[in-house]
């Protein structure tokens, strides 16, 4: 238990003014749902790491898993909201018995987070942007010289709604 508390203390930012610090919550996208942790180092820079089930663009079944990392740069900040832009990277573990590759992808986004609660320790955010990721696998038909290309594509539109609870 002491190790967990020491780790949380190290992750929490040393700045005490405004909403700068460590938080966790959930992100909901049309093709994914993730548990995530977010850390604002100062009023301008922050990172987020999340994981959860993801759906592919072709079948839209939530049978894949993904890990996602984001880097934020704040453009506007006050006590009640923050506007930011950022870059994201995602690695998707494809769960398909006929497709044996995993897919890295990346993108850019912009978002706005509103702070709620008596102590402004809860955040609700809306993010939107673009993503790109595509993996191709060639399979050979036995007994012939025919090859079949199978593709796995990232959902090109990135839209996310998130809820975070911040620790001071």
* CATH number (domain holding residue 114): 2.40.160.20
- Please give the Cα distance from 136 to 134 (Å, whole number): 7
pLDDT band per the 50, 70, 90 thresholds, residue 96: confident
Q: Does residue 81 lie in a domain region? A: yes
Q: Does residue 146 lie in a domain region? A: yes
Average pLDDT over residues 106-113: 97
User: DSSP class of residue 58?
Assistant: T
Tens of pLDDT along 111-168?
999 999 888 899 999 999 999 999 988 888 888 888 888 888 888 999 999 999 998 6
Q: Give the total number of structural domains in the chain.
A: 1
Residue 110 has pLDDT above 80, yes or no: yes
pLDDT band per the 50, 70, 90 thresholds, residue 20: confident
pLDDT cut 70: percent of the chain above it: 88
- 29-62: b (≥16 Cβ within 10 Å) or e: bebbebebebbbeebeebebebbbebbbeeeeee
Residue 91 has pLDDT above 50, yes or no: yes
- Vertex 34 angle, CA 132 and 72, to 5°: 60
Neighbouring-strand partners of residue 68: 50, 90
User: Smallest Cα–Cα separation from 159: which of 112, 104, 105?
Assistant: 112
The structure's pTM equals: 0.80
Q: Does residue 11 lie in a domain region? A: no
Average pLDDT over residues 26-47: 94
Q: Does residue 36 lie in a domain region? A: yes
Q: Does residue 5 lie in a domain region? A: no
Domain that holds residue 84: 23-167
């Amino acid at each position: 238990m002491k190790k967990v508390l020491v780790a949380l203390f190290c992750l929490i930012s040393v700045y005490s003014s405004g909403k700068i610090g460590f938080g966790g919550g959930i992100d909901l996208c049309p093709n994914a749902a993730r548990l995530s942790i977010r850390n604002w180092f100062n009023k301008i820079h922050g990172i987020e790491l999340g994981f959860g089930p993801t759906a592919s663009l072709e079948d839209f079944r939530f049978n894949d898993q993904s890990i996602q990392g984001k880097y934020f740069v704040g453009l506007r900040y006050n006590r009640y909201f923050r506007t930011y832009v950022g870059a994201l990277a995602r690695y998707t573990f494809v769960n398909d018995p006929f497709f044996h590759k995993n897919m890295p992808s990346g993108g850019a986004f912009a978002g706005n987070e509103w702070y709620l609660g008596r102590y402004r320790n809860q955040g609700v955010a809306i993010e939107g942007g673009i993503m790109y990721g595509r993996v191709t696998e060639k399979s050979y038909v036995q007994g012939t010289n025919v090859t079949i290309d199978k593709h796995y594509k990232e959902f090109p539109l990135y839209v996310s709604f998130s809820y975070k609870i911040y620790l001071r």
